[in-house]
A and B are shown apart, each in its own frame.
Chain A
Amino acid sequence: MLHSLAQALQDTDFAQWISQSSLAFPWFESIHVACLTTVVGAITILDLRLLNLAWRSRSVRDVSADVLPLTWGAFVLAAIAGALLFSSKAVEYVDNLAFRLKMLLLALAGINMLIFQFTTYRSVADWDRGATPVAARISALLSLLFWAAVIISGRWIGFTVH
């Protein structure tokens, strides 16, 4: 099922063009890296604020408002560029351990963010300006770890797919 879907995707004209052109893959890859580093850099700013390690004079809600539009915009572009890269060798990627691990880690980063958003962050008005609660710090630390692991597994894909 997964393989036949991957094969169908890889057989589309567009995916064929990416895999056969010598320029398409590096261009989409560069866009992917520019966007993913923006995502991780922006999230790191919020995580460091939640860990009370940086930007303590600005409220958590202000820091969120500063970085979240940038984070989401860059994430959407990184995901589109990533999907295009994926389509060019879909069959190989679905079986690749590093790729699977990266998808798992992205899901964990997303779940961590959702849990934070719908539990800890609901009481943000109480700790917006002071020290952040332990639950927020744990979410921030997990977020930093998951995103670092996303980068490592992403780089690892490049060394295992040819």
Chain B
Amino acid sequence: MQHSAAWLDMDRVIGEFSDWLSATPFSLVIQTQEWIIPAIQSMHIMAVSVIMGSAIMIDLKLLGVAARGSSISDANRRFLPWIWSAMGLLLLTGALLTAAEPRRELLNDIFRLKMGLILLIVAVTAAFQHTVRRNSAAWDEDPGKKMPARLLAIGSLAVWVAILFCGRWIAYVEHG
């Protein structure tokens, strides 16, 4: 990949920061106790499970194929708090994994793509939560909303799956 001079300079700073971070006693403990990284990764995957289950339930509701007899605002009230809590646990466990192996993550293009997609889905999810709260009657009843709702369901699920795929691919790409 072609990087400009500014990018190279930034990568050098990130590399130096990574070297400092991985030499801290905290990072060294995670690196040297062999059970810690798989344990944190397992928690990370459990939190991903909570998001996949909850996000798909909301998306199926938006597509009109599941949870008949309940509304979109019901689905949001039920599942969005689980998604936000799981995001908190993912941020914490992800930060610990990054502290353990900073170069593997911070200098990795797939990791950077993953972080960008996470910012996107957080913005989309927060905006969706906000508009449904403000216009719950329209979202729950108005057939005119159907097409945007379907696009939102398919698009947001695609972004979640892309984030998950990036997570697995971090392990397979070269990094600085």
**Which residues from chain A sit less than 8 Å from chain B, CB to CB?**
22, 26, 29-30, 33-34, 36-45, 54-55, 58, 62, 66-67, 70, 148, 151-152, 155-156, 158-159
B66 near A45 with CB under 8 A, answer no
What is the CA–CA distance of A54 and B81 in the complex, to the nearest angstrom? 11
Residues of A within 8 A of B41 (CB): 155
Q: Shortest distance in angstroms between A64's beta carbon and chain B's nearest beta carbon?
A: 12
Interface check B42, CB cutoff 8 A:
yes
**Which residues from chain B sit less than 8 Å from chain A, CB to CB?**
34, 37-39, 41-42, 45-46, 48-54, 56-57, 60, 66-67, 69-70, 78, 161, 164-165, 167-169, 171-172
Q: Total A-B residue pairs with C-beta atoms closer than 8 Å?
A: 85
Residues of B within 8 A of A156 (CB): 38
Q: Shortest distance in angstroms between B56's beta carbon and chain A's nearest beta carbon?
A: 6
A38 near B56 with CB under 8 A, answer yes
What is the CA–CA distance of A70 and B60 in the complex, to the nearest angstrom? 10
Residues of A within 8 A of B164 (CB): 30, 33-34, 37
Chain A: which residue is nearest B169 at the CB level?
A: A26
Beyond known contacts A40-B53, A41-B49, A43-B53: 9 more, CB 8 A cutoff: A22-B172, A30-B168, A34-B52, A34-B164, A37-B51, A40-B49, A45-B54, A152-B38, A159-B38
Residues of B within 8 A of A29 (CB): 168
